[in-house]
Amino acid sequence: MSLLAISEIVTGYGPTIVNRNVSLTLAQGEIVTILGPNGAGKSTLLKAIAGLVRPRAGSISFDGADVTGLPADIMARRGVVLVPEGRKIFVDMTVEENLRLGAYSRKDPDAVEADFATMLAFFPILATKRRDKGGSLSGGQQQLLAIARGLMTRPRVLLLDEPSLGLSPLLVKEIKAIILDIGERFGASVLLVEQNAGLALAVAARGYLMQNGRIVVSGPIAELRDMSLMRDLYLGGVAQAAS
């Protein structure tokens, strides 16, 4: 049985419909990606799963329970945690405070301290910058902090929205290694939204391709990679834009 199951979700803002009848699943320990061009509705879908946007129709179930429409703070407590697009670091607070905020709802102080030490060991740059304000970090460092802050919540599902956005190829490589490690080290399944197909195809086992708010193709990554449709829809578009 899948850990997270989205069924026929519809989302929107005001009169605009963003996602139409989206369904997807995520199993325990899996890394799954949602690919698609800018404006396809990927971020809104993640926000709906995380509880920041209330779905208009459809259902979300997590760990066998119906969690449709629960607010973000309850979803985070249950173990579904979004690392939002653009990092959204608390810029006026220190690196340490940012990390500790991730553990806000946890009631196991000893394990929180252990996790805090783990994060500093796993992300050495955060240990170096521990007392610095979040806003003084570079984009890449902020992304690492955002992921570490998300992990401090001890998520069972980590939703990553465009972690590679605006990062150098070297940093993207680092992020890639971290995402591959999340399942084993922290026991979380990952739902990764990306425009950077290279990263997504390298880490995920399965993928969904989203266009105009709908899932148009889904399947194992190897199949997606070869699909001419995907090349036309998405990779082709990127290649054209780059040339």
Please report, as ranges, the residues that interact with other proteins according to CB under 8 A.
Answer: 50-53, 71-73, 76-77, 81-82, 84, 88, 90-93, 97, 100-102, 104-105, 149, 153
- 18: closest CA among 36, 45, 49? 45
Contact 142, 134 (CB under 8 A): yes
The rounded distance, in Å, linking the Cα atoms of 50 and 80 is: 6
CB closer to other proteins, 153 vs 164: 153
The rounded distance, in Å, linking the Cα atoms of 154 and 191 is: 15
Minimal distance, residue 104 CB to other proteins, in Å: 5
The burial of 202, by beta-carbon neighbours within 10 Å (0-12 exposed, 13-18 middle, 19 or more buried), is given as middle
CB closer to other proteins, 77 vs 173: 77
CB closer to other proteins, 93 vs 217: 93
The rounded distance, in Å, linking the Cα atoms of 141 and 201 is: 23
Q: Could you tell me the two tokens for 208?
A: 């969904």
The rounded distance, in Å, linking the Cα atoms of 119 and 101 is: 13
Contact 134, 95 (CB under 8 A): yes
Minimal distance, residue 119 CB to other proteins, in Å: 15
Minimal distance, residue 88 CB to other proteins, in Å: 4
CB closer to other proteins, 90 vs 231: 90
CB closer to other proteins, 44 vs 234: 44
Minimal distance, residue 24 CB to other proteins, in Å: 20
Minimal distance, residue 80 CB to other proteins, in Å: 10
